[in-house]
Amino acid sequence: MRGWVGRMPALDNGEFLWGLVAVAQGLDRVREHKGCGQSIQGLDLARANTSAHAQPSLSSDCARILALLQSYRNYVEWLKHTAVAAFYIGQGSIASIVSINDPQGDPLANGTITPRGGGVLDDPYEGELMAAWLYLSGLLPDGAKGEDDIWVLKRPLLKSRIYSGNGTEC
């Protein structure tokens, strides 16, 4: 996409992050439905990745489901850290767009990703997905103060509307 090379939007990535969480939850439901163990916590995934012949107590379907579920969970956990490093500016501010200065570099390293153009993601709509992700990560460097500030910055943009159900409000 022309114009987006080396750039990354918080808005779309917030939507993407929650989509990954939904997939992981769906996989967990499949795991439960197929009877692949009570919980992935504490399961020896190295054993789960072996063939069904080597481990007759774990079907090959369950092994694949558990391995995929663990991959999603690991990735989501990693993205908690990278989203904070990439998009959180501090004092409740979230960069709306960041520059990727080194696409091959570690996203957690200083200077790999930097805010671009001074824009702040402060909309009370789709931007809430990234705000909620950062808030719920519990990893903001300024702790609870930053978590509260995310919502304080959005407050002036909220508009009260009375919904009547006839569809004319939009």
Residue 161 pLDDT > 60: yes
Q: How confident is the model at residue 146 (pLDDT cuts 50, 70, 90)?
A: confident
pLDDT tens digit sequence for 8-17: 999 899 999 9
Question: In the structure, what pLDDT confidence band is assigned to residue 44 with cuts at 50, 70 and 90?
Answer: very low
Grade residue 159 by pLDDT with cuts at 50, 70 and 90: confident
* Calpha distance 101→19 (Å, rounded): 26
Kindly report which listed range (8-22, 31-45, 98-112) carries the lowest average pLDDT score.
Answer: 31-45
Single-letter code of the amino acid located at 117: G
Of residues 126, 23, 129, the one with CA closest to residue 75: 23
Q: What was the pLDDT predicted at 156?
A: 85
- Rounded to whole angstroms, the Cα distance separating 62 from 110 reads 40
Whether the pLDDT of residue 66 is over 50: the answer is yes
Nearest CA to 96 out of 14, 18, 153 is that of 14
Q: Which two tokens stand for residue 85?
A: 């490093």
pLDDT of residue 55: 43
pTM of this structure? 0.76
Average pLDDT over residues 83-100: 91
Tell me the C-alpha distance between 104 and 107, whole Å.
9
Residue 126, CA atoms < 13 Å, CB-side half-sphere: 10
- Report the mean per-residue pLDDT for the chain: 81
Residue 95 in tokens: 């960069």
Instruction: State in Å, rounded, how far the first CA of the chain is from the last one.
Output: 31
Better pLDDT: 94 or 53: 94
- Measuring CA to CA, which residue among 30, 60, 34, 39 is closest to residue 48? 60
